[in-house]
Amino acid sequence: MALLLSRKLGVLVKSSSKNKDSLKNDIKKVIKDNCINGELIIRNAASDIKLMAEFERRMVSMSVKLTPPLDRGNKAKITWIGKQLENCKKKNDTLFPKLEKELIIEADIKYAKANIKVKLSELDELIELTKDKEIQGFKITLNRGFGAGFSSVKKFIVLIDNMVLEYYEGIVQYVSTWTRPTPKIVQTE
């Protein structure tokens, strides 16, 4: 996937770094959690793309993490992420509708053990679910079930390559993370 994206983007895309214990850790994770994780590191993208393949559910997830405007309330943060996705829809109105049904928005809640997840179509419900909580980040996740294609080596590669290209082209290249404005000198009398 990293090579494919590198070719398509014209910039070097790195996969998560591996060391001599990585294979042992991956084997333990597959046995314990029935899944395996990875990462695609793309310079100047809003976020790295986190990858997860779940063997039991035969599903692959790809996600990017975005920081919303931290100087605003939850309703403004949720509106901000909604506008980011609306922008994706405007920029690629043929691909986005295909991805829309598979998108999950995850709100990272400060001091909470678990994040709050909603489908993109239920984004407005997030306002009620995060009342009296502070959102400190969002994850835009594309979940895709591969079914029987998950166990076929050739078909799995084709499916995951198509998925990463669609996810990048439909979402990742159009989203951006918020950066705190530069502090200004306060004029005193």
Report yes or no on 50 lying in a domain.
Answer: yes
Q: Given the DSSP bridges, would you call strands 135-145 and 103-109 parallel, antiparallel or unpaired?
A: antiparallel
pTM as predicted: 0.86
Report yes or no on 64 lying in a domain.
Answer: yes
What does the pLDDT look like over 92-141, one tens digit per residue?
989 998 999 999 999 999 888 888 999 988 888 888 888 888 999 999 99
Rounded mean pLDDT, 17-41? 84
Dihedral over alpha carbons 158, 164, 165, 167 (to 10 degrees):
140
Report yes or no on 125 lying in a domain.
Answer: yes
Q: How confident is the model at residue 171 (pLDDT cuts 50, 70, 90)?
A: very high
Q: In the chain, how many domains are there?
A: 1
pLDDT given at position 27: 83
| Rounded percentage of the chain residues whose pLDDT exceeds 90 | 46
Rounded mean pLDDT, 34-42? 90
Report yes or no on 25 lying in a domain.
Answer: yes
pLDDT given at position 163: 93
Report yes or no on 151 lying in a domain.
Answer: yes
DSSP at 27: H
Report yes or no on 184 lying in a domain.
Answer: no
Structure tokens at 124: 């407005």
**Mean of the per-residue pLDDT values of the chain:** 89
Residues of the domain holding 160? 2-172
Backbone angles phi, psi at 150, to 5 degrees: -65, -35
Report yes or no on 110 lying in a domain.
Answer: yes
Report yes or no on 187 lying in a domain.
Answer: no
Q: Is residue 83 over pLDDT 90?
A: yes
Whichever domain contains 81, its CATH number is 3.30.930
pLDDT given at position 183: 84
Q: How far apart are CA 143 and CA 61, in angstroms?
A: 5
